[in-house]
Amino acid sequence: MKSKKPFVWAHRGASGYCPENTLAAFKKAVEMNADGIELDVQLTSDGEMVICHDEEVDRTSNGKGWIKDMTFEAVRSLDFSYGKNEYRGAKIPTLREVFELIKPTKLLINVELKTGIVFYPGIEKKVIELTEEYDFMDRVIFSSFNHYTVKKIKELRPNAKCGFLYMDGTIDMPEYGKKHGIDALHPALYNLQFPGFMEDCFRNNLEVNVWPVNEEEHIALCCEAGVNAIITDYPDKASAFIGSMFETKQQI
């Protein structure tokens, strides 16, 4: 096992406990002493940066439709409690509101730009400008499944920390990441099993931040592999399990 504990980032906030991507979920992540939060950014028709995983509001709210076609006022009027009664009335947050919430803390923020389906015009510049307004460039890592978006961020701000998100079945990802000058790979968990994958990442100076990591056996795999961070729905359980793994190691 590597000597460094992986950081614990709360996936869509502490989404195992609260409606995903709501202020309640991000507050819970802070209360649970997560090292960071991960969130998904979309743009409304009038250009507001809002936090929602899906391009449409149907799954997580009581409304219907594409965020790109709705004004902020319209999307804000919906209930995002997502079947959890104690959170009834939860509103879609803006990126600014999450930044305000996180400002007094030391948490890192993984801003995932959801441009895989809708190519929101100008979203990269907007996200950078808000990050700079909050003086957060050193505590934000930008990622996207759309690697053109990640490249755009790097073009606009070469020093911005960026990661390529991807699923599975790819080869040569570390070389590809290095070639495009990015800082991290954000692979789906299963990629850790590919032969030589972590060594290739280390050799290319790439951080590895893995998702989704909720099961103990998967957390253990990440600790063994020496990843930089795990992205989990249960930050409290993940931190406790990582703590116990490293305690056991010290006793051996």
- β pairing state of 161-166 and 140-144: parallel
Q: Could you give the CA distance from residue 196 to residue 200 in angstroms, rounded to a whole number?
A: 6
Among 186, 206, 222, 233, binds ligand G3P (CB under 6 A): 186
Task: Tell which positions 4-43 bind ligand G3P, by CB under 6 A.
Answer: 11, 38, 40
Q: Is 127 in the site for ligand G3P (CB under 6 A)?
A: no
Instruction: Give the interface segment with Mg ion, choosing from 32-40, 97-105, 115-123, 235-243 (CB under 5 A).
Output: 32-40
Q: Is 143 in the site for ligand G3P (CB under 6 A)?
A: yes
Q: Give yes or no: 180 in active site.
A: no
Nearer to ligand G3P, 3 or 191 (CB): 191
Q: Which does 22 bind (CB under 5 to 8 A by kind): ligand G3P, Mg ion, none?
A: none
Which residue is associated with the tokens 């990661």? Answer: 163
Instruction: Give the interface segment with Mg ion, choosing from 19-27, 38-46, 91-99, 195-203 (CB under 5 A).
Output: 38-46
The three-point CA angle 147-208-196 to 5° equals 105
Nearer to Mg ion, 40 or 48 (CB): 40
Report CA-CA distances (Å) from 179 to 56, 161, 175, 208. Answer: 34, 15, 6, 16
Q: Give yes or no: 11 in active site.
A: yes
Q: Is 165 in the site for ligand G3P (CB under 6 A)?
A: yes
Nearer to Mg ion, 128 or 165 (CB): 165
Are 11 and 32 in contact by the 8 Å Cβ rule? The answer is no
Nearer to Mg ion, 173 or 231 (CB): 231
Tell me how far, at minimum, the Cβ of 40 lies from ligand G3P, in Å: 5
Tell me how far, at minimum, the Cβ of 168 lies from ligand G3P, in Å: 12
The terminus-to-terminus CA distance of the chain in angstroms comes to 12
Q: Is 233 in the site for Mg ion (CB under 5 A)?
A: no
Report CA-CA distances (Å) from 184 to 117, 141, 235. Answer: 22, 9, 21
Q: Is 124 in the site for Mg ion (CB under 5 A)?
A: no
Q: Which residues are CB-neighbours of 177 under 8 A, at least 6 positions away?
A: 164, 184, 185, 201, 204, 206
Catalytic residue (one of 11, 147, 186, 218)? 11
Q: Is the dihedral of CA 94, 136, 35, 106 positive or negative?
A: negative
* Residues paired with residue 176 on neighbouring β-strands, in sequence order: none
Q: Which two tokens stand for residue 186?
A: 């954000």
Which residue is associated with the tokens 């319209």? Answer: 74
Residues that bind Mg ion (CB under 5 A): 40, 112
The residues annotated with a catalytic role in the active site are 11, 53
Residues that bind ligand G3P (CB under 6 A): 11, 38, 40, 53, 112, 143, 165, 186, 211, 231
